[in-house]
Structure 1
Amino acid sequence: MEMTGAYSTFANNGTYYRPMFITKVTDKAGRILYQGIPKKGEALRRNAAYVMLQMLKYNVRSAPGIKTLKSEVGGKTGTTNDYRDGWFMGVTPKLVVGTWVGGEDQWIRFLRIEDGQGSAMARPFFSKVFEKNGKKQNTLISILKYDSKNL
């Protein structure tokens, strides 16, 4: 959850919104009983967020396992020591998805790096989520404008 919130900062022009599990509660008549308002703050300059998105997009362009809409997606894989955990963070302006594959028991791990990498374990899950949900978003990361004066 923390990683997803951090990566969403890039898609939100440098503004960090604290992730929330419950955003709204309504009764059966549709009246709002609770409306969550996320805490937010500037974490990065807008231009720094733009540069990060461009780097994340470049990272995905040649990545196997993300078959559709590559130009709209930025992302980063990760692998912990001893190949215990693999993760992938995928970013678009409207959708940020963090996928993690691993276990709480530190003794459970993959024997080969090829099996334990984030690209092998976690990125395929993101690909499936994005293929189902990302097409509905239909927005490009490149909507952010680059201003070299304020970088």
Structure 2
Amino acid sequence: MAGAGPVSQDWEPVVFRKKAPNAAAKKDEKAVNAARRSGAEIETVKKATAGTNKAASSSTSLNTRKLDEETENLAHERVPTELKKAIMQARTDKKLTQSQLAQLINEKPQIIQEYESGKAIPNQQIISKLERVLGAKLRGKK
């Protein structure tokens, strides 16, 4: 940057300010009051949910009605009983603890515990790791 000439910097502080809250509302209020004093006809409309965070009540009742009418039972697929038993059987045949099996497939012991208790959501990658380490077919027809 040699020979580019003197570079001056502006060190004046820059101040950012938010707009004063309700500045527009105060102006409107002043204008309405002035018009009232002068005797002019004023039409004001009060909105039902103005300034609140509530939606119109009719739409919420429709949503709750839809939810009430909903009969489909939505739940995640869980580990089937046959798979739970197959994992437990194969693990005990190899004389492995849940922790040792988890270490062999590079997963947390909690995952093995969830699979054996039937709480886990089946993951094909984990099941294939279990099949490889345990040397047993866990998926499909036997």
Both structures adopt the same fold (TM-score exceeding 0.5): no
Which of the two has greater helix per residue? 2
Q: Which of the five TM-score ranges fits, normalised by the shorter chain?
A: under 0.3
What TM-score, normalized by structure 2, do the two folds share?
A: 0.22
Choose between structure 1 and 2 for higher RCO, CA contacts under 8 A separated by at least 6 residues. Answer: 1
What TM-score, normalized by structure 1, do the two folds share?
A: 0.21
Which of the two has greater strand per residue? 1
For the pair shown, which has the larger CA radius of gyration, 1 or 2? 2
